Amino acid sequence: MPITAERIETIANGIGQAKILILGDIMIDEYLFGTVNRISPEAPVPVVEITSSNLLLGGAANVAANIRSLGDEPILIGTVGEDEASVKLAQLMKDKGISSDFFVNDPSRQTTIKTRIIAHSQQVVRADRENQHELDEQTQQNVFKRFMSVIDDIGAVIISDYGKGVITKQLLERVIDACLDKDVFVAVDPKETHFHNYQKVSVITPNHDEAGFAYGRRIRSEKDLMEVGNGLLKKLQATSILITRGPDGMSLFRKNAEVTHIPTFARQVYDVTGAGDTVIASFVAATCAGADLVEAAIVANAGAGVTVGEIGTASVTLPKLKEELKFNVRNGNLKKAALEAS
């Protein structure tokens, strides 16, 4: 069935009325911007003279920022350390209008900070400050209690797994079981090594490398893509799998349906940091607004097109998303997506 501009507009206008819970690894993305004019005499590396810096929400917190930018209400649950970084994180959250009331403090961990040094619009190096050990039993219980305290008030759950220890197998099973019991939509942004723990979810959004790694077959061709997508769909007993493919767009695999390929409509690509967060946030926001899975994927594709056109972890706003969707309409991109979906 053709996907009309009117239908996409209806979905976009419906975004911004849901409460969406995000569970996962919360972090700060720090950016140091500068210039390079010489090589260090100490080692063959560039000397970056820092001219400015910026702190942004990262990981699951960036997903929450995307949800807030789209107008929906994010409920962010995860752990932070008892350190200076957690104070900075709480302030960043407050500045974005996102509550930190559902954070669980874990004194055995430091709050994750990923520092990227950028010179002349190019990333020179990244330095991570983090812990990756799994949450202990008591901390897992505290996280789950916060989750259950709001499950009756939410429209969907996003699990944002960066492999930092918050999304343990035990916690994941309890969360998914609770969502299945309550008929709550569950979307997962996966970590490759945890892939087979994401059983019976509504959608999982790996990139093509993650999907290939999880299935044990590198995606080099259309045949590989089909085998990996359909194979993972069956293994995970998932409702759908959305494989993001960079310049080749997205491929949506669904139960009892033909695969849908959605070409990329990005006009320019500067930085893919945070694009996966935008994809899953836009997808879930669209489903909460009444979109079916194909329609949600088209909305998510537009959201990603906005994000990769900006330097630094970005949150797509609802006005920008609507503008991008209108651009796609004007340029016949929806007809291309409808053709691919047919």
Using alpha carbons, list the distances in angstroms from residue 281 to 70, 183, 224, 301: 9, 19, 27, 11
Task: Establish whether 277 is a catalytic residue.
Answer: yes
Q: Which among 101, 189, 277, 292 is annotated as catalytic?
A: 277
Residues noted as catalytic: 277
